[in-house]
DNA sequence: GATGAATGAGGCTTCATTCAT
DNA sequence: CATGAATGAAGCCTCATTCAT
């Protein structure tokens, strides 16, 4: 059950406190994703993290604060992965390659590092306004990253001239994001799967 | 605030009791969709339906029972609409037309009749196992409807020979379902929007 | 266990809800006075009022709201009693009589109607800033009532010319207020007791 | 921030442990006085004393134990001060002088050495029976000191023959004790203030 | 049919206390 | 001596549910 957040752990020997903190976040992300924010109790989280509910408060100020960090970790992870993927493309003007790489990166993060990002995507619309407000900014930045990519692709002739960027971006990400509802890593390897998705996105479902 | 469930109400003169029942279902669907199951209070539902929480129990046995009916109403509505759309196609062998009609029908139900279906789609994965179990059957039937359609299309040469049906169906429905997270009826008319989606699904995003 | 708040109940047949509300207030006032705000749990209050803790919330929004009403009821009762006592004095210029009447009224309210006023006086300084702030106004009005009385008395020659009003008022009320810490109605009748206090206040402790 | 308790520290060179102990007591007294026993957290106390909550337990067995010592320190300080004041009077039979000296001593301790005594006076009535029981003895001794003084004064003709000692003592101490609720050392010097109080106690409020 | 009022279970949170380091 | 970390009991509050009216 590797998790993006673990990656961000760079210090040599993580202290006990940090490990516990991370355990709480991992547990919370998993349960939030599965059951939603309100339906997940702190007792559940504590159980999953191997501790008692009260102990959570040594590491976090509130349930909200945990959710905040889960959401933030999730979106930043995808953002970073996609950005890197774009920048790694050798031919700077090959937007087909860039878009494919982005789709790959987004999907891969989504499906492999799962809980944090899934929680973010799945629950965002259901969150109390108060929490949601705190995360609009990062989400917008990620949307902007895609919009910029797609706009350039369009200007370079890769997309039809009458393509509207915003709905396109929403459609692409939507198609990708919903995969977390049903992707089964025991049936298809991650790479096979993402390849196939990239193909659908690019060429649609029909023969030729 | 017309709602699919109203449609299913066929008896000539609905009694007051039935109208109240329906008001509760409408209110519940709306709130469940917006906030999730656990986060929605029966007092919220009662408020939205213009009554007091206690009164709900004259019409329903429990919160679960309301959710059950909301879920059921939602899935049956899309199921019916898509089935009708397929059957309405004149040329029985034109699968491209049939698939397009199905996509249209699904999207239109999803976005216009909203709450019941949205609630179903958004919340299914978060529901307590117990409730979810009761709805697997209908959901499977709907999936089968699509699988049958897609299989025939593939056999008739509309789809590539190596296309795997299940992931394809999941991808299509996923792409469509996610639109409820962002479709804004003030920006695009429903028809314009669904046309565009049909096009993406069919041909992908690239020029040519 | 008569209580000021009961007096304010004027409607002919108090509804059940009102009676319960009052029972909660009475219980709360008693316990707040005895143990302090923080040390009194809502379970305690509920027990004393013959109900379950959760039920309190049908009548009040929060523990704070209860405290608010207790404090308010208390101070208004003394304020009203003292004001009436002053106005009831026949000779409008006899300040000795007026002051005596005020002391009497204050003490009598304090010791007979007890809990609400005692809670107010005893706990004010310990309350969370937030609650305290909401009650400064009424408290100031009561203080002003006394200050006005004492100022007029001084100007009419009843008090020494060099008397400073504020400390005097504080001293008088302080001396009176502390009596709730020890007054025992089984040892002295209320009237005997208040007479004696009036005398101390007026003439001090020494012979002649 | 000198404090009576410091005075009682007589050993030549206080060890670090003793200093920490004292810091905890000082912090606790201050906070208990301001907020009450229950509302004061050991974390609050630790903060105020510049340490962590867990560390307190090296010096005290429990929150109760701290409260115990605070209460005890408070009452003993006033007791000692008043006793000394009485004994310091030159003319052994001048009870007016003795009473005045006692009032002075009590007030001065109360207002200058503040926290321990204030905590004692303010909180005593709110304490759990269990704690309160442990302090009745010392409190009685202090009451007896006054009763003895007042009885002798009465027998020597300083007080009216019909004066009842207990209520008188309670009245005097009450009037004095309440001053901690409002005495403001920025408005009046301690000496001016105590003089004025002594005068009120002795002669009452009226001219002549 | 509907409501006012109550309840009990359970959720989030705080806090005195403990204990290994 | 002091701290970091954890715990369990308890507090405030919410909510599905019940029931008499």
A102, pLDDT greater than 70: yes
Distance between the alpha carbon (CA) of A42 and the C1' atom of E14, Å: 15
Chain D residue numbers touching C202 (CB-CB < 8 A)? 204-206
Whether the CB-CB separation of C37 and C67 falls below 8 Å is answered with yes
Beta bridge partners of D159: C206
Strand E closer than 7 Å to the CB of B192? no
Whether the CB-CB separation of A23 and A66 falls below 8 Å is answered with no
What is d(CA A198, CA A202) in angstroms, rounded to the nearest whole number?
A: 6
What is the arithmetic mean of pLDDT over C169-179? 85
D22, pLDDT greater than 90: yes
Q: Nearest CA to CA, how far is A201 from chain B (Å)?
A: 5
- Smallest CA-to-CA distance from A68 within A5, A163, A132 is with A132
**Per-residue pLDDT at B98:** 92
Please state, rounded to an integer, the average pLDDT across all residues of chain A.
87
DSSP assignment letter at C58: H
**Per-residue pLDDT at D194:** 82
D25, pLDDT greater than 50: yes
D7, pLDDT greater than 60: no
Task: Give the phi and the psi of residue B12 in degrees, each rounded to 5.
Answer: -55, -65
Least confident of A119-133, C157-171, D5-19, D102-116: D5-19
Beta bridge partners of C6: none
C164, pLDDT greater than 70: yes
Q: Within 10 A of C119 (CB to CB), how many other CB atoms are there?
A: 25
C184 touches chain D (CB under 8 A): no
DSSP string covering C71-111, please?
HHHHHHHHHHHHHHHHHT-SSTT-HHHHHHHHHHHHHHHHH
User: Residue A8: which pLDDT band, with cuts at 50, 70 and 90?
Assistant: very low
**Per-residue pLDDT at D181:** 79
**Per-residue pLDDT at D15:** 67
**Per-residue pLDDT at D168:** 86
pLDDT in tens, D178-205: 888 778 888 888 888 888 888 888 887 7
Strand F closer than 7 Å to the CB of C42? yes
B71, pLDDT greater than 70: yes
Please state, rounded to an integer, the average pLDDT across all residues of chain C.
86
B76 token code pair: 């049956």
User: Residue D11: which pLDDT band, with cuts at 50, 70 and 90?
Assistant: low
Q: To which residue do tokens 């890197």 refer?
A: A84
What is d(CA B25, CA B9) in angstroms, rounded to the nearest whole number?
A: 12
**Per-residue pLDDT at C14:** 64
Task: Give the phi and the psi of residue D206 in degrees, each rounded to 5.
Answer: -80, 155
C170, pLDDT greater than 60: yes
Share of chain D above pLDDT 90, in %: 39
Whether the CB-CB separation of C104 and C110 falls below 8 Å is answered with no
What is d(CA D67, CA D75) in angstroms, rounded to the nearest whole number?
A: 12
pLDDT in tens, A161-188: 888 898 889 888 888 888 887 888 888 8
What is d(CA A188, CA A52) in angstroms, rounded to the nearest whole number?
A: 38
CB contact under 8 A, A174 and B181: yes
Nucleotides of E under 7 A from a protein CB: 1-20
A36: left (phi over 0), alpha (psi -120 to 50) or beta: left
- Smallest CA-to-CA distance from B79 within B141, B123, B30 is with B141
Distance between the alpha carbon (CA) of B179 and the C1' atom of E11, Å: 33
Q: Which residues touch C173 (CB under 8 Å, ≥6 apart)?
A: C106, C146, D178
Strand E closer than 7 Å to the CB of A43? yes
State how far the alpha carbon of C129 is from the alpha carbons of C68, C133, D35, in Å.
Answer: 12, 6, 10
């Amino acid at each position: 059950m590797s998790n993006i957040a673990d990656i961000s752990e760079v210090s040599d020997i993580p202290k006990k406190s940090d490990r516990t903190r991370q355990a709480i976040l991992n547990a919370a992300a998993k349960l939030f994703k599965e059951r939603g924010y309100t339906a997940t109790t702190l007792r559940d989280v504590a159980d999953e993290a191997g501790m008692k509910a009260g102990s959570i408060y040594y590491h976090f100020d509130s349930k909200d604060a945990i959710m905040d960090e889960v959401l933030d970790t999730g979106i930043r992870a995808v953002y970073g992965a996609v950005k890197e993927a774009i920048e790694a493309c050798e031919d700077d003007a090959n937007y087909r390659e860039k878009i494919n790489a982005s789709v790959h990166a987004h999907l891969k993060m989504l499906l492999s590092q799962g809980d944090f990002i899934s929680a973010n995507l799945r629950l965002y619309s259901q969150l109390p306004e108060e929490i949601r407000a705190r995360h609009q900014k990062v989400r917008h930045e990620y949307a902007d990253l895609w919009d910029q990519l797609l706009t350039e692709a369009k200007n370079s002739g890769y997309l039809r001239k009458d393509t509207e960027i915003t709905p396109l971006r929403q459609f692409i990400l939507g198609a990708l994001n919903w995969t977390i509802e049903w992707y089964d890593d025991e049936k298809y390897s991650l790479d096979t799967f993402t390849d196939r998705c990239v193909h659908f996105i690019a060429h649609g479902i029909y023969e030729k």
